Structure 1
Amino acid sequence: MEEQKIAVVVTGFGPFGEHTVNASWVAVQELGKLGLGKEVDLHIYEIPVEYQTVQRLIPALRKKHKPKVIVHVGVSGMATAVTLEKCGHNTGYQGLDNCEFCPGTQCCVEGGPECLHSVIDIDTVCKRAAEACLDVQFTVSTDAGRYLCDFTYYTSLYQSHGRSVFIHVPPLGKPYTAIQLGQAIQTIIKVILDMLEQSEDHLNCGHS
């Protein structure tokens, strides 16, 4: 019997502001070319920088693909390293999106906790990714910026019960190429899948 493939969903963002070419989507497209190995079904999506689309799209992607993990990639003009975000925030959304819209409540989920963390150990992911010797710097952050990136991460963490990760990449050429960013994301996801498999093996041992 053929073993069922693992589904992984990875998203990047479309253009906004000065980012007429969004490095996150370019990096995700590079990942699409590289793939994640024959046992993984990789599904990539470009998300428009719109709050309401994010709220509609994330549950739809989860329902459609039932991914083992969902990984979102965004660009940060301030980043100089590939940055793994530990948590998403619920409130403080005042920046207008590409439709000149911002949530009236300035929050993702009314009544939701202020901060949601990934169930995946982000510090360990960062450490293992750095050990891959890609000539790319990796770092960890606890502030995804209170705009569409943070909003997407919180929404996704809420929907997936923490089985989501957010990666911020620097703009293209500052200092990394599209290929380097694609390889960095590929490395991070392979580390995550490996960690999830190990933790599930550990749980299964406990139940047998």
Structure 2
Amino acid sequence: MDNSKRNVVVTGFEPFGAHTINASWVAVQELKKLGLGKDVDLHVYEVPVEYQAVQSLVPSLWKQYHPQLVVHVGVSGMATTVTLEKCGRNLGYKGLDNSRFCPHSQCCIEGGPDCIDSVIDMESVCKRVTASGLGVAVSVSKDAGRYLCDFTYYTSLYLSHGRSAFVHVPPIAKPYSGEDLGRALQAIIQEMLNMLDRAEEKIHCQHVH
């Protein structure tokens, strides 16, 4: 791995239920074609829609890549915009996954806080991406839905002390194509990285004085 480059990991989910093609994985594959610029090594993964798989995969991604940022992408049948999720929640996981399993405790991390916020200011990312004239509507949400999306996000936020993000996309062609969603992810993640850079510069300046 080239150390001058930053690692960014982006995940989508496998098909589940009515989503025989999962728009999140289509969007992530489109993003992979576009890339995040020459300074970023982009690693993409398709995540099984299984609680136990998430519990082993998410920590292994952090360990393997030491990424500057991990962005999980999921599909929402109710979404009509690309939606930035502000936080992940620990409790209330009752939905059965693709292997007909759900956590007995109905929570992600026993003893973990009820809710963890991302360090990224999603309102600000939303404003900037919207102002860039992307042609894809972006919105912000505080509820990632208490299924595998929320479970994955919380697990990632817990491990990374908030250096994770979650983006919900609508199903393909309702109204956006896979290419549109890929472009939207590219713009959103580049904005998130810019934001992390600005925050780090600020911290660095404070230490210098």
> When the two structures are aligned, how many residues end up with a matched partner?
207
Match of 1:16 in 2: 16
Gaps of 5+ in 1: none
The superposition leaves residues 111-140 of structure 1 with CA deviations (integer Å, 9 ceiling, x where unpaired) of: 111111001111101111111211110000
Aligned to 1:104: 104
What is aligned with 2:131? 131
Q: Which amino acid aligns with 1:80?
A: T
The Cα of 1:17 is off from its aligned counterpart by 0.1
Aligned partner of 2:5: which letter? K
Q: Structure 1: how far apart are the matches of 2:135 and 2:129? A: 11
2:55 corresponds in structure 1 to 55
Deviations 1:25-46 (A, max 9, x none): 0000000000000000000000
Q: Equivalents in 2 of 1:104, 1:30: separation in Å?
A: 36
SS at 1:46's partner residue?
A: strand
Q: Distance in 1 between matches of 2:116 and 2:196?
A: 19
Q: How does 1:151-190 map to 2 (within 5 A)?
A: 151-190=151-190
Matches within 5 A, 1:50-129: 50-129=50-129
Secondary structure of the 2:168 match is: strand
1 CA distance for matches of 2:58 and 2:132? 30
What is the alpha-carbon distance in structure 1 between the residues aligned to residue 167 and residue 142 of structure 2? 11
Structure 1 stretches of 4+ moved >3 Å: none
> What is the alpha-carbon distance in structure 1 between the residues aligned to residue 34 and residue 91 of structure 2?
36
The aligned residue for residue 196 of structure 2 is: 196
Give the deviation of 1:3 after TM superposition: 6.5
User: How many angstroms apart in 2 are the aligned matches of 1:66 and 1:131?
Assistant: 31
Letter in 1 for 2:106: Q
Give a deviation string over 1:29-85, Cα, whole Å, max 9, x none. 000000000000000000010000001000000000000000000000000000000
For 1:169 and 1:25, the matched residues in 2 are separated by: 10
Q: 1:142 Cα deviation (Å)? A: 0.4
Q: Aligned partner of 1:202: which letter?
A: K
**Residue type of the partner of 2:28?**
V
d(CA) in 1 for partners of 2:193, 2:150: 23
2:37 is equivalent to residue 40 of structure 1 = no
Distance in 2 separating the partners of 1:65 and 1:3: 11
Give the 3-state SS of the residue equivalent to 2:146 in structure 1. Answer: coil
Q: For 1:138-172, what per-residue CA distance to the aligned partner results, in whole angstroms no more than 9, with x for missing partners?
A: 00000100000000000000010000000000000
Where do 5+ consecutive residues of structure 2 fail to align? none
CA RMSD of aligned residues (A): 0.8
Alignment TM-score, normalising by the size of structure 2: 0.98
The CA deviation at 1:16 is 0.2
